[in-house]
Amino acid sequence: MKVLYTGLLVTGLLILTGCNVSTTGGTPGGGTFKLKGPETSTTVKHGETKTVEITASEDKNFKEDVALTAKVDKPDEGIKAELKPTTIKGSDPKKAELSITVGDKAKEGEYVITVTGKPTKGDPTSVDVKVKVPEKK
């Protein structure tokens, strides 16, 4: 019974804390990859820019270049997202930097930036990066 309770506790903690990992992209038989971003919201104040890391994990059979794009859920709200590099080469380190800039006119609240990775061949995958804009002071 003790083991059952411990197992349920661990499962509950994993569900609560979560892991910000995308679904699998790539091609069946040709290798797959996943994108990972920050697990919690990134707070960015008005007039500020913060950078977070996006990483790609892939299985040993995945050799494709992956084109990255970033889309803000409310693009007219004064939030900008920029990725560097915009392509992860098959031979390069598997990470990119997402710069998030919050303009002076951005409204307080939560925003989502969807980072999508599209391989040369195969299916794309996406990961959501949550951004919190605090009250302007």
Q: For 92-133, what is each residue's pLDDT tens digit?
A: 778 999 999 999 989 999 999 999 999 988 889 999 999 999
With a cut of 80, say whether residue 25 has pLDDT above it.
no
pLDDT tens per residue, range 48-102: 999 999 998 888 888 888 999 999 998 778 999 999 999 988 777 789 999 999 9
- Smallest Cα–Cα separation from 24: which of 125, 92, 127? 125
CATH code of the domain covering residue 36: 2.60.40.10
Does a structural domain hold residue 5?
A: no
Which structural domain, as residue segments, surrounds residue 55?
20-133
Whether 1 maps to a domain, the answer reads no
Q: Are 78 and 36 in contact, with CB atoms under 8 Å apart?
A: no
Residue 10 lies in a domain: no
Q: Distance between CA 9 and CA 15 in Å, rounded? A: 10
Does residue 12 fall inside a structural domain? no
User: Could you tell me the end-to-end alpha-carbon distance of the chain, in angstroms, rounded to an integer?
Assistant: 52
* Total count of domains within the chain: 1
> What pLDDT, on a 0 to 100 scale, did the predictor assign at position 63?
81
* 14 within domain boundaries: no
As a whole number of angstroms, the distance between CA 12 and CA 8 comes to 6
